[in-house]
């Protein structure tokens, strides 16, 4: 067939229309086909064609708690969200669940955050079942101490490769996050993290801030901070994946005055939008703002409001092709029609804040090798082989494309041998990459455990200090109790001394002098008291008179 059709016709109009599974089979025919299908130009052509699929596809992630599991699936964006495919999720998080940084051109970026510090970053293409673990970044806890970071993921359409940007705010001695931040960029072609100096970012992107990718740039909600550390205003910070520069998109005044925690960034169709969370005593809901003309502040428009009087409204996680809003309500995935204000439960239940929905397109991105470069570097020998094989023709049977050569005996045998050898080499390369990824993961685990052990030792030291302080406090409490007892004794002695002093003042003698009656005379038995005082009875003749007799007198 290739003898009668131009190359651009049968490649662009026939080969690029084949599904992913068929194209993966075709890569095993020969090196020339492998080089062609994994070339950046063909991947871009196939990707652009799949983006025109109708109805489009949606990638959905929901998580269950018992048992703890992450469920990934692809659905048609039709009224019933019909299932397209269930995805096998081959990764295991050390921190309960992965955080989805973002998805773009069929590739999902996953981050496994341990204790708010990044542990592992994975690029995963579920359509071709290929993944890649990024190496360890330069700014880590062991070298820079406490920090706060945000991650962005996007696609460089100029160089046909995925990129990951990491914005890190190191904490100073006063506990504030320093600006400008440390910025690192990872691209598959470089294969390493590259520091970006003089980024010019003075705004703060909060820890784990969600991102959206639109117009070849990553967008975050950020805020400016005053010199005293207080909140100033909210805005949008962008990073373009092609020119690798930061820019700013300003919000309308009514949104700029809001706290960044009440703002959620999203994509509505082909436009940037912000959901403003509104809470009041009467109801709660969202105000939806859309930037109709990208980059023009005056084009921000409030489209509609979502109000829920039952207070069961959860986060907005995406939008559908028919402009319906996808949100979480009481742990269920729900569609909300802003025109009719009706809700539709899709019967998918999970942990509310872990839901994720985004448009999805099947692609061959990451299929050209982990270094991001295509196999077009195989050289002139493969190109000559491609020209030789082209003369043999193409036979198409159903969906499976089979290569046949006119040299049936020698050609098929040698082609099969080369295919087997190449497949074995690819398998060995994949095994080596898996080993390197496992070694990196093990190294990260060891470093993390070392950091955890150090923190545990510091915590134990602080615990011992607290115990010593508690013992000293108990000793002080006992001393305080004894002192109070001594004070009580001293008060009693003081009272007794006062009584003794009163007796001495009244009788002129010691307080304990006994009073003795001798012959009608009261004698103070105290020492130094030699005078006798006649008693009243002796003065009256020795007889006591009754009160009645005294009254008669």
Give the tens place of pLDDT for each residue, 29-73.
Answer: 778 778 888 888 888 888 888 888 878 899 999 998 888 899 999
Confidence check: pLDDT of 128 > 70: yes
CA-based angle 530:532:535, to the nearest 5?
A: 155
| Reported confidence tier of residue 393, pLDDT bands at 50, 70, 90 | very low
Question: In 3-state terms, what secondary structure has residue 322?
Answer: coil
| More confident call, 38 vs 229 | 38
Per-residue pLDDT averaged across 234-256, rounded?
93
List the single range of 81-95, 290-304, 434-448 with lowest mean pLDDT.
Answer: 434-448
| More confident call, 353 vs 29 | 353
Per-residue pLDDT averaged across 424-438, rounded?
66
- Asked if 115 contacts 139 with a C-beta cutoff of 8 angstroms, the reply is no
78 domain-assigned: no
pLDDT of residue 368: 59
Confidence check: pLDDT of 366 > 90: no
Question: In 3-state terms, what secondary structure has residue 59?
Answer: strand
238 domain-assigned: yes
CA distance 529 to 450: 90
CA-based angle 114:115:116, to the nearest 5?
A: 90
Confidence check: pLDDT of 104 > 50: yes
Percent of the chain with pLDDT over 90: 26
240 domain-assigned: yes
Confidence check: pLDDT of 178 > 60: yes
| More confident call, 428 vs 123 | 123
List the single range of 14-23, 278-287, 320-329, 490-499 with lowest mean pLDDT.
Answer: 278-287
The DSSP secondary-structure symbol of 454 reads H
CA distance 240 to 238: 7
43 domain-assigned: no
- Strand ranges of the sheet holding 325-329, from the earlier edge strand across to the other edge: 313-319, 325-329, 332-337, 342-349
| Reported confidence tier of residue 228, pLDDT bands at 50, 70, 90 | low
Confidence check: pLDDT of 400 > 60: no
Tokens 């820890």 belong to which residue? 207
List the single range of 2-11, 163-172, 337-346 with lowest mean pLDDT.
Answer: 2-11
CA distance 320 to 440: 39
pLDDT of residue 201: 87
150 domain-assigned: yes
List the single range of 176-180, 467-471, 527-531 with lowest mean pLDDT.
Answer: 527-531
Confidence check: pLDDT of 386 > 90: no
- The dihedral through the CA atoms of 422, 427, 428, 432 has a sign that is positive
| Reported confidence tier of residue 431, pLDDT bands at 50, 70, 90 | low
List the single range of 167-171, 209-213, 262-266, 283-287 with lowest mean pLDDT.
Answer: 283-287
CA distance 197 to 186: 14
| More confident call, 525 vs 68 | 68
pLDDT of residue 248: 93
220 domain-assigned: yes
| More confident call, 435 vs 183 | 183
Question: In 3-state terms, what secondary structure has residue 315?
Answer: strand
Per-range mean pLDDT, top range of 118-122, 216-220, 350-354? 216-220
Per-residue pLDDT averaged across 101-120, rounded?
84
Per-residue pLDDT averaged across 446-459, rounded?
78
Tokens 């299932």 belong to which residue? 83
CA distance 434 to 431: 5
List the single range of 4-13, 62-71, 264-273, 330-339 with lowest mean pLDDT.
Answer: 4-13
CA distance 96 to 112: 9
User: What range defines the domain where residue 206 resides?
Assistant: 146-311
Average pLDDT along the chain: 77
pLDDT of residue 134: 93
Tokens 């330069």 belong to which residue? 138
pLDDT of residue 501: 85
pLDDT of residue 288: 92
| Reported confidence tier of residue 357, pLDDT bands at 50, 70, 90 | very high
Percent of the chain with pLDDT over 70: 73
pLDDT of residue 378: 36
Closest CA to 315 of 288, 355, 350: 355
| Reported confidence tier of residue 268, pLDDT bands at 50, 70, 90 | very high
482 domain-assigned: no
Distance (Å) of CA 39 to CA 7, 35, 238, 378: 15, 6, 30, 11
465 domain-assigned: no
List the single range of 24-38, 52-66, 248-262, 333-347 with lowest mean pLDDT.
Answer: 24-38
CA distance 100 to 354: 9
List the single range of 260-274, 341-355, 363-377, 515-529 with lowest mean pLDDT.
Answer: 515-529
Confidence check: pLDDT of 2 > 80: no
Closest CA to 301 of 278, 330, 268: 268
Closest CA to 137 of 168, 106, 159: 168
Where residue 269 falls (left for φ over 0; alpha for ψ -120 to 50; beta otherwise) is left
pLDDT of residue 79: 84
pLDDT of residue 309: 57
| More confident call, 414 vs 150 | 150
The DSSP secondary-structure symbol of 535 reads -
Confidence check: pLDDT of 401 > 90: no
| More confident call, 429 vs 5 | 429
| Reported confidence tier of residue 4, pLDDT bands at 50, 70, 90 | low
| More confident call, 85 vs 398 | 85
> How many structural domains is the chain composed of?
1
Tens-place pLDDT, residues 150-162: 999 999 988 888 9
| Reported confidence tier of residue 173, pLDDT bands at 50, 70, 90 | confident
């Amino acid at each position: 067939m290739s003898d009668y059709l131009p190359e651009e016709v049968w490649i662009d109009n026939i080969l690029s229309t084949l599904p992913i599974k068929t194209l993966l089979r075709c890569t095993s025919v020969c090196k020339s086909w492998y080089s062609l299908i994994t070339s950046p130009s063909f991947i871009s052509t196939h990707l652009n064609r799949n983006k025109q699929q109708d109805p489009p596809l949606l990638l959905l992630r929901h998580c269950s708690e018992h048992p703890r599991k992450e469920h990934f699936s692809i659905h048609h964006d039709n009224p019933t969200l019909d299932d397209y495919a269930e995805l096998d999720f081959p990764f295991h998080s050390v921190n309960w669940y992965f955080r989805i940084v973002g998805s773009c051109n069929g590739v999902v970026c996953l981050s496994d955050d341990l204790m708010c510090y990044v542990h592992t970053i994975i690029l995963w293409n579920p359509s071709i079942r290929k993944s890649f673990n990024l190496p360890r970044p330069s700014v880590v806890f062991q070298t820079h101490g406490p920090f706060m970071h945000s991650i962005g993921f996007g696609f460089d359409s100029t160089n046909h490769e995925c990129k990951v940007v990491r914005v890190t705010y190191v904490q100073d001695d006063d506990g504030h996050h320093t600006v400008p931040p440390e910025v690192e960029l990872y691209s598959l072609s470089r294969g390493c993290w590259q520091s970006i100096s003089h980024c010019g970012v003075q705004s703060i992107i909060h820890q784990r801030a969600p991102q959206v990718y639109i117009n070849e740039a990553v967008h975050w909600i950020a805020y400016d901070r005053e010199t005293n550390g207080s909140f100033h205003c909210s805005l949008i910070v962008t990073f373009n994946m092609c020119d690798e520069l930061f820019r700013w998109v300003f919000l309308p005044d009514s949104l700029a005055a809001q706290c960044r925690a009440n703002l959620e960034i999203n994509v509505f169709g082909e436009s940037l939008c912000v959901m403003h969370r509104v809470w009041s005593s009467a109801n709660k809901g969202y105000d939806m703002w859309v930037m109709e003309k990208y980059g023009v502040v005056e084009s921000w428009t409030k489209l509609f409001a979502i109000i829920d009087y039952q207070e069961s409204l959860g986060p907005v996680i995406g939008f559908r092709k028919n402009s319906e809003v996808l949100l979480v309500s009481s742990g269920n995935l729900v569609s909300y029609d802003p025109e009719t204000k009706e809700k539709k439960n899709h019967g998918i239940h999970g942990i509310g804040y872990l839901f994720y929905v985004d448009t999805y397109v099947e692609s061959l991105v990451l299929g050209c090798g982990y270094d991001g470069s295509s196999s077009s570097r195989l050289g002139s020998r493969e190109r000559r082989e491609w020209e030789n094989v082209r003369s043999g023709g193409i036979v198409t049977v159903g969906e499976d494309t089979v290569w046949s050569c006119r040299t049936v005996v020698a050609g098929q045998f040698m082609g099969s041998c080369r295919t087997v050898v190449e497949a074995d080499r690819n398998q060995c390369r994949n095994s080596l990459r898996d080993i390197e990824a496992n070694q990196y993961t093990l190294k990260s685990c060891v470093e993390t455990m070392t950091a955890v052990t150090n923190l545990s030792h510091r915590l134990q030291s602080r615990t011992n200090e607290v115990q010593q302080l508690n013992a000293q406090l108990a000793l002080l409490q006992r001393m305080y109790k004894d002192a109070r007892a001594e004070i009580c004794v001293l008060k009693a002695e003081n009272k007794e001394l006062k009584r003794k002093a009163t007796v001495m003042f009244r009788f002129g003698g010691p307080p304990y002098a006994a009073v003795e009656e001798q012959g009608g005379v009261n004698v103070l038995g105290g020492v130094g008291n030699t005078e006798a005082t006649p008693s009243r009875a002796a003065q009256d003749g020795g007889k006591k008179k009754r009160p009645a007799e005294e009254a008669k007198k």
